Amino acid sequence: MSQPEWHALMSQLRGASYQRGLVTRDSPVHHVDFDDGLTNTEVLSTEAAFGLRFPEDLRALLQTGLPRGPGFPDWRAGDRTALRFWLDEPSQGVLFDVEHAAFWLPEWGARPLALTDALTVAREALQAAPRLIPIFAHRMIPEEPHSSGDPVLSVYQTDIIYYGFDLVDYLQHEFRVGPRRPWPVNVRAIRFWDSLVS
């Protein structure tokens, strides 16, 4: 998308209401807002600090305006330890299910009898997988390929579904703004994580 198109989408998103977690009658209502976008220097510094690379469309969004509010990662001034924990959550969730829910992927071969060995195999597979970058709450986008158009995943341990076929579709879906485009016949394949999508 062009810069004017990102600005137009931000105008739609600004003020959109949302609630977090288990929603009840008394759950607080929040509204999407934006700070100034990240500078090139801030993007490069953030990528270096966390050992990641933002895909093109996420980088374009973050440089147009940095989303703020409960549930959004603050890549400018957020607590670094909390952000690292957030980035590690998808892998930790898979490891939790390997340990506590007998989760195992066929492509990992026969599951070792010893739990420590099983966790080693799973950990190695996760270290080779593309990292998932939080956009909002437990909605994540893979860092690779580094181009626009990666799907957005809703990730809770090994309960993983597509929540948008690309970043724009996800934002329109999550915050109920603008008309959604038809779901494509094929969603871009994402190495490793596709095998967990239900």
Report the first-to-last Cα separation within the chain, whole angstroms: 29
The kind and range of the H/E element at 150 are: none
Cα–Cα distance, 58 to 96 (Å, whole number): 28
Q: Which residues contact 169 (CB under 8 A, 6 or more apart)?
A: 152, 180, 181
pLDDT per residue as tens, the chain (198 positions): 888 999 999 999 999 999 887 677 788 899 999 999 999 999 999 999 999 999 999 999 999 999 999 999 999 999 999 999 999 999 999 999 999 999 999 999 999 999 999 999 999 999 999 999 999 999 999 999 889 999 999 999 999 999 999 999 999 999 999 888 999 999 999 999 999 998
pTM of the predicted structure, to 2 decimals:
0.94
Output Rg (C-alpha) for the chain, integer angstroms. Answer: 18
